Amino acid sequence: MFHFMRRAPRAFASKLALSVVALSTALASPVLAAGKTLTAVMHSDLRIIDPIFTTAYITRDHGYMVYDTLVATDSNFKIQPQMADWKISDDKLTYTFTLRDGLKWHDGTPVTAEDCVASLKRWGAVDGMGQKLMDFTASLEATDAKTITLKLKEPYGLVLDSIGKPSSRVAFMMPKRLAETPPDKQIPEQIGSGPFKFVQSEFQPGVKAVYVKNTDYVPRKEPASWTSGGKVVKVDRVEWITMPDSQTAVNALQSGDIDFVENLPYDMLPVLEANKEITIEVSNKFGFQTLGRMNFLYPPFDNVKVRRAAFLAMNQKDVLDALVGNAKYQKVCGAFFVCDTPLATDVGAETLVKGNGMAEAKKALAESGYDGTPVVVMAPGDVTTLKAQPIVAAQLLREAGFKVDLQATDWQTVVSRRASQKPPKEGGWNMFFTNWVAADVSNPIANLSIGGQGKKGGWFGWAEDPKIEQLKDAFVRAPSVDEQKKIAADIQKEAYEQVIYVPLGQYLLPSGWRKSLSGVLDGPATPLFWNVDKSE
């Protein structure tokens, strides 16, 4: 079993030094004495700060600090008004959204319907659910300064669920001048209407990101519930401090130098559980799915027979034991749409969940025509929940007969590099690993990585599969839940046969915070820093 190292690898030394210096400087800063400051170690360093440009969760988390949404999801999975209320026509073809009063951008200008239309169009060009919504959209326009009118070609039951989805690429609203930026280019500045303002002057990628309370923000009156309700900010400043080494982060949490750590290492839980000053909870009760994704554009994984051999070599238990190593927090699961949900099925997952496919993998590889092309696997070492997968997978691929080039990097490099369609020899890649929160993969439309759109509009890896796209269209038109279940099973069967991606199991992730914090929210997209107070 692979165990996480308790000490920082030497490659992290310089980053750790920067983190410690940044933390010491921040704690000594006279600015912090002016009000309450919450310090947090997030699951990753923040580098990409455009929440539509990438699906990276750290960028999503940044988005929730700075931006707001038209509608949002509550703890009962129901869509609630956020920036806007809505009405639906009797024929289900027209959705009318009306902006609530008091909405301002961080530069002081009022939020308009034109801003929101531009934001929806930018989001809808790249998000999986957004793209499908736009396929069914006849027109989307601002009919006056506060009214957004969405007209459909035919009834589509996932309109509100799409615009209010809590994770992955969230439909964040931004000023029109920023929203008109092509989605494959990053916006030039961070101006939202959300509960916090981003302090650009203090942003140091690899060191820290800083947010201050937006004093002009008018929260809704409803209680906070997941990403919906009143976003009441109770601290003056939030600092995300980068600490690549989990031991350093845990030590800072125990000493009180850090208030909140998003991802606690499993092997350190016994020590933390003994500390009465620390709360340990799983904020995302629905957990994560971890997965491997191959690049369909270049050898060897442009060949489905080779992809199939790689799939047969994978073993969920090996991955989960290395990633988690605690039965309380891990679950072998072959369901693309998450176990214990209405769409869960084991179709096509037998060898993966049983972990007995190695002999078949060797045979399949020998018959595939594989010519020994090295498999370039990106291996980030700075994120606890992404260290183990590439190492275990590389071992399994080698055992099956693949040549593997395991390239050590950091997660933000993976986030940037996975968007490249260059050949592996020119800075591209063959395989990477990531995690989705359950909410992002619980149905075929939300599950961005199961699409078959290819090079234009597809998710990283660019799988092209018209059959899956046809089945997804059938899913959204299905007249009943039973019919949706049948179609979802057909999609899973096709996804396994073509190896669209490799589900590697589910896990829960505990967070930790000082008892001085109160009001920490749970939800499918966490952490959220409104509603959180800090006692002095």
> Token pair of 476, please?
């959204």
Tell me the per-residue pLDDT of 462-514, one tens digit each, with 9 for 90 and over.
Answer: 999 999 999 999 999 998 889 999 999 999 999 999 999 999 999 999 999 99
Q: Give the predicted TM-score (pTM) of the model.
A: 0.82
Over residues 446-473, mean pLDDT = 93
Q: What is the pLDDT of residue 2?
A: 29
Task: Give the three-class secondary structure for 54.
Answer: coil
Model confidence at 7: pLDDT above 60: no
Higher pLDDT, 18 or 73: 73
State the span(s) of the chain assigned CATH 3.40.190.10: 10-54+193-281+511-534
Q: What residues have CB less than 8 Å from 25, skipping those under 6 apart? A: none
Instruction: List where CATH 3.10.105.10 sits in the chain.
Output: 288-507
Q: What is d(CA 168, CA 131) in angstroms, rounded to the nearest whole number?
A: 13
**Sign of the torsion angle spanned by Cα atoms 468, 119, 42, 387:** positive
With beta carbons less than 8 A apart as the criterion, state whether 504 and 265 touch.
Answer: no
Q: What is the mean pLDDT of the chain?
A: 92
Q: Span 288-507: which CATH code? A: 3.10.105.10
Per-residue pLDDT, 168:
83
* pLDDT reported for residue 1: 29
Give the single-character DSSP code of 260: E
> By three-state DSSP, how is residue 210 classified?
strand
Q: Are residues 380 and 417 in contact, defined by beta-carbon separation less than 8 angstroms? A: no
| Residue, of 456 and 146, whose pLDDT is higher | 146
495 neighbors 502 (Cβ within 8 angstroms): no
pLDDT of 349 > 80? The answer is yes
426 pLDDT more than 90? yes
- Burial pattern 188-222, b for ≥16 Cβ within 10 A else e, equals eebbbbbbbbbbeebbeebbbbbbbbbeebeebee
What was the pLDDT predicted at 17?
42
Distance CA 350, CA 352 (A): 6
At 282-305, the pLDDT tens digits run 998 889 999 999 999 999 999 999
Whether the per-residue pLDDT at 15 is higher than 70: the answer is no
Q: Tens digit of pLDDT for each residue in 31-44?
A: 334 589 999 999 99
The CB-side HSE value for 249 (13 A sphere, CA atoms) comes to: 31
Residue 155: pLDDT band by 50, 70, 90 thresholds?
A: very high
CATH 3.40.190.10 fits 10-54+193-281+511-534, yes or no: yes
